[in-house]
Structure 1
Amino acid sequence: MEKNRIKLYRSLHKAGGRDERGLFLVEGPELIKEALREGWPLEEVQITHSFVEESHAGKELIKLIDLADVPYYLCSNSDMGRISETKTPQGAIALARYREPVSRVNSEEEPEIIVICTCISDPGNLGTILRTADWFGIGRVILGEGSADPFAPKVVRASAGSIFRLKVESANDTKAIIKRETKSGRKLYAATTGGQLLPGELPQSGLRGLVMGHETKGIPDDILSICTETVRVGGRGKTESLNLAVAAGILLNAVSNE
């Protein structure tokens, strides 16, 4: 690979480079296939010689890329190691372009359930929450101030392709979003360790949503105070806390009536 191409890929490891170029990385054959399946715009794909020559999966990926009319280039394992954000590259990496979020629900309809994330800084947790929201058919996820970049490599990987299906929006004023949603009749339930409701007490119909906060600091008081109600995940063991993404899964299961 040319040095300037390697430099481009490496620049996308950081948020500044992604924002400047409007591009992000999609690493691994399965994620690339998810992006192709959802019609996400890919600029190009880099694939190692060994992945194509030594595996059936590599040959199948080439066929899918050809069908989508996306340019691809063969590179060495050492070059793949230079451009990959992971310690163990999977043999293929794509350049994907930012695009406006597209919801699976009718744009004229309000999604029944939404998720608002505020100050969720851990990329793995955010990606897992996106994956879980996708599993439960959530129409919209809003990322408030202090949340991780949804196009960061670790978030994209942890989402397992859900980032290509969900309508994910970034918000500069979480309080304004919550006020607007509650004014329109939506009930928003803030997840806290000392919440008043248990998962089984959450409503399973009507406009509703969950508000999730920082992994250790929780939801800021000024946001907590304007939510409809608080909810907690009860536990019986002695561990100090529950992983945020696990708690989100339990609450989404409860609120989605699954």
Structure 2
Amino acid sequence: MLENPRSPRVRAVAKLTKRSARHETGLFLLEGPQAVREALAYVPDSIVELFATPTGLERHPDLREAARDTDIEVVFTTEPVLEAMADTVTPQGVIAVARQTPTSVKDIFAGSPKLIAICEEVRDPGNLGTIIRAADAAGADGVVLTGRTVDLYNPKVVRATTGSLFHLPVSVGGELATIVERAHSAGLRIIAADVKGDDLLAARAAGVLAEPTAWLFGNEARGLDDESLALADSALRLPIFGRAESLNLATAASVCLYETAFAQRLAL
């Protein structure tokens, strides 16, 4: 059992809360039973180490069985050790270290995708994680992050995806112009989500949303700059029927993705 919170092994795991360490090692943290459960189910080969307190594993016996089925050793730790490793205050008794396995932009657009989310300069980890989760729920074929977007493997992003990170392909680090070019080559229409765009309801009525679509989402505070907007085929805005000043980016993205998912399925 690991008992010393200051041991080299514990410190090496704790460093993964920092982007520099993640970049250097190609590893990242999975905190909590849900993230670990999904990784064991969908990408078990990516897991390098699995740590748990005895009580944490008792609360989640399915994780013990999944680890055994995939031949992954569980290293037991004390509560202080697990807390020293984690980015959160309460890591819920289970932490894993996994290899980063992003998908290439080329591969995401290789299979005739119908729905893609593109994130340009999305900076809030919670927003990005929620967009990935919403894309997964809406049946999207992938998510593409430009190099100006927050690190996919930031612990807050990973937690916010609640395991969806392992359900659909996600690419990182591309230039927006190159991504748009590949999307067009794959037959996708690029629609920017922008407050200056046309009304989404009109686009829905015209059948635009039923076409293969790549939604382009921008920065939380500034939205998309003029150069990025110019790369899109069109821009749409969500109507505000109440008195809210605006919608949170992740909420707006979820609505946009689901509107397209609904339209595409009705057109089948």
> What TM-score does the superposition give when structure 2 sets the normalisation length?
0.88
| Number of aligned residues | 254
> Could you tell me how far 1:208 is from its partner in structure 2?
1.5
Q: What is aligned with 2:146? A: 144
> Could you tell me how far 1:159 is from its partner in structure 2?
0.4
Q: What is aligned with 2:157? A: 155
Does the aligned pair in 1 maintain the 2:192–2:232 contact within 8 Å?
A: yes
Where 2:150 maps in the other structure, the secondary structure is: coil
Summarize deviations over 1:185-230 as a string: whole Å, max 9, x none. Answer: 4211100112113156242433221000001100121010121111
Classify 1:100/1:246 alpha carbon distance in 2 versus 1 (closer, same or farther; 3 Å).
closer
Is 1:221 matched with 2:226?
yes
116-125 or 188-197, which deviates more: 188-197
CA distance in 1, matches of 2:73, 2:225: 46
> Could you tell me how far 1:28 is from its partner in structure 2?
0.8
Q: What is aligned with 2:214? A: 209
CA distance in 2, matches of 1:176, 1:155: 24
Where 1:193 maps in the other structure, the secondary structure is: strand
Structure 1, unpaired ranges of 5+: none
> Could you tell me how far 1:67 is from its partner in structure 2?
1.1
Is 1:192 matched with 2:194?
yes
Does the aligned pair in 1 maintain the 2:183–2:214 contact within 8 Å?
A: no
User: What does residue range 88-127 of structure 1 map to in structure 2 within 5 Å?
Assistant: 88-101=90-103, 108-127=110-129
Letter of the structure 1 residue corresponding to residue 168 of structure 2: L
> Could you tell me how far 1:110 is from its partner in structure 2?
1.7
Classify 1:199/1:65 alpha carbon distance in 2 versus 1 (closer, same or farther; 3 Å).
farther
Letter of the structure 2 residue corresponding to residue 13 of structure 1: T
CA distance in 2, matches of 1:110, 1:209: 12
Structure 2, unpaired ranges of 5+: none
Letter of the structure 2 residue corresponding to residue 90 of structure 1: Q
Does the aligned pair in 2 maintain the 1:113–1:256 contact within 8 Å?
A: yes
> Could you tell me how far 1:179 is from its partner in structure 2?
3.2
> Could you tell me how far 1:109 is from its partner in structure 2?
2.1
219-228 or 195-204, which deviates more: 195-204
Does the aligned pair in 2 maintain the 1:199–1:231 contact within 8 Å?
A: no
**Of 244, 247, 253, which residue of structure 1 is paired with 2:249?**
244
Classify 1:154/1:65 alpha carbon distance in 2 versus 1 (closer, same or farther; 3 Å).
same
Is 1:21 matched with 2:25?
yes
> Which structure has more helix as a fraction of its residues?
2
Does the aligned pair in 1 maintain the 2:126–2:157 contact within 8 Å?
A: yes
> What TM-score does the superposition give when structure 1 sets the normalisation length?
0.91
Does the aligned pair in 1 maintain the 2:109–2:183 contact within 8 Å?
A: no
Letter of the structure 1 residue corresponding to residue 241 of structure 2: R
